[in-house]
Chain A
């Protein structure tokens, strides 16, 4: 782990979320601003004290949208950096904010993300790419391929995959911010419209709109800003990994869950914690199969066992490894730029003991994993 040399302790001092869903009367900047205002209020810091901001988003909504959103607060001349890293754009913005502080460059930072994802299947390549003729560039088709192979290799039945969606909807029913709050039965999930067999509609995350924000602060600067230490959550590990050599090569690497494993091992080493210490986890469940494979790649469950654990209820709110406690991408929806910070919002809320009916008892360590096509993975570990 020689490339990591964290310095100062970094805390999350505040988090904010705009509900996820469809908001035709609000533009991207307006969604983002609401989340930022909530995070500033939550941390009880003044905008004019924030020295840097990182903004995650993917779809083109005009240039430098981060500046447009923050202009409403009054442009203070600080560096504002717009970040695009596919579905992990928000968590990449957070990662940059962490490293900006731990290295001593900044004492505080705003990380925020927002998105208005168009309806319909999500593709990765540009419109003029030859892939449109080949038919392979289709995010949920990629998950369909992974799911079929996982079922073949592990013996997981369709009902085990569908149970992931049932569980996510149960969690989301307790979350006023979720895009999809109604619960479904196993049969309803299995019998919903097929999208890319064996994936059915309710096993795919909705494309959504929404925004999320976090205020990070150096541990040694909390007093100077008058921040309430009792509500601060420590960032114990912050790792980003992009696709690498030997990431199984060929043209399906964009759909591979394997990038998560080295990122997780780095994050465990950096934090001095192991998978056995994690009390709750948010993972990238763009489709049901994603949750199972990420839990295994994070070493939270042995390979081929996540589907069994799901059927036994071990990933539920009352289980041994509560997963996607706010409903995850499957029920929160997936506004790309916001998702990674939404996961951090939920983790921080849980570790503060402020998650209400979703609260995991005595939660001390939380992990948030967010993937992006390309491929990218971020793993963040938080401690109370």
Chain B
């Protein structure tokens, strides 16, 4: 059974790992949202945080096409890395897939998509969150 690449950032919602949500926290005192693990609010230092599911959609704040990958990158080269602005405030970096070069522009709407990546040796496959143009079928 595939496992989330990082359960602090992605919670799978079905057994075959094809559906899931980005997770984070909302501060009860100042309303700031945080993506991923948090103990204290990054806006005001309060510890009054409640777990929340973050939006499945965002806009592309910036992107780069990585031609020389970091060590251990299990995907194709080159790949597009997107910096995506969520409506709640946090930005989430992940690969942008299913997007022809001519459609890649700052400001386009993107949506979450999950992909399985083969794990190390005997380890379980990892489900990794990625972005794709909104409305991709």
Taking CB atoms, residues of chain A closer than 8 Å to B34 are: 249-250
Mark B123-136 against chain A: 1 for CB-CB distance below 8 A, else 0: 00010110000000
- Contact mask for chain B residues 59-82; partner A; CB cutoff 8 A; 1 contact, 0 none: 001111111111111110001010
| Interface residues of A, dominant DSSP | mixed
B10 CB, nearest partner CB in chain A, Å: 9
Most-contacted residue by chain B among A123, A130, A135 (CB, 10 A)? A135
Q: How far is the CB of B16 from chain A (nearest CB, A)?
A: 18
Chain A, 129-181, CB within 8 A of any chain B CB = 130, 132-138, 140-141, 144-149, 152
Q: Is B43 interfacial (CB 8 A cutoff)?
A: yes
Q: Is B90 an interface residue (CB 8 A)?
A: yes
A246 at the interface (CB under 8 A from B): yes
Distance between Cα atoms of A133 and B129 in the complex (Å): 10
Specify which chain A residues have a CB less than 8 angstroms from the CB of B106 in the assembled complex.
Answer: 148-149, 152
A199 CA to B61 CA in the complex, in Å? 17
Interface membership of A194, Cβ < 8 A: yes
C-alpha spacing A188/B71, complex, angstroms: 27
B106 nearest in chain A by CB position: A152
Q: Which residue, of A121, A246, A250, has the highest number of chain B Cβ atoms within 10 A?
A: A250
Given A135-B94, A197-B65, also A246-B73 (CB < 8 A): no
Q: Separation in Å of the B42 CB from the closest CB of chain A?
A: 5
A249-B32, A249-B43 known; A135-B5 Cβ under 8 A:
no
**A250, B92: Cβ atoms closer than 8 Å:** yes
Q: Does A79 contact B (CB under 8 A)?
A: no
- Find out whether the CB atom of B92 lies under 8 angstroms from the CB atom of A141: no
Complex Cα distance, B10 from A130, in Å, reads 11
Interchain CA distance A191-B99 in the complex, whole Å: 25
Contacting pair B68 A196 (CB below 8 A) = yes
Q: Could you tell me the distance between the alpha carbons of A359 and B51 in the complex, rounded to whole angstroms?
A: 57
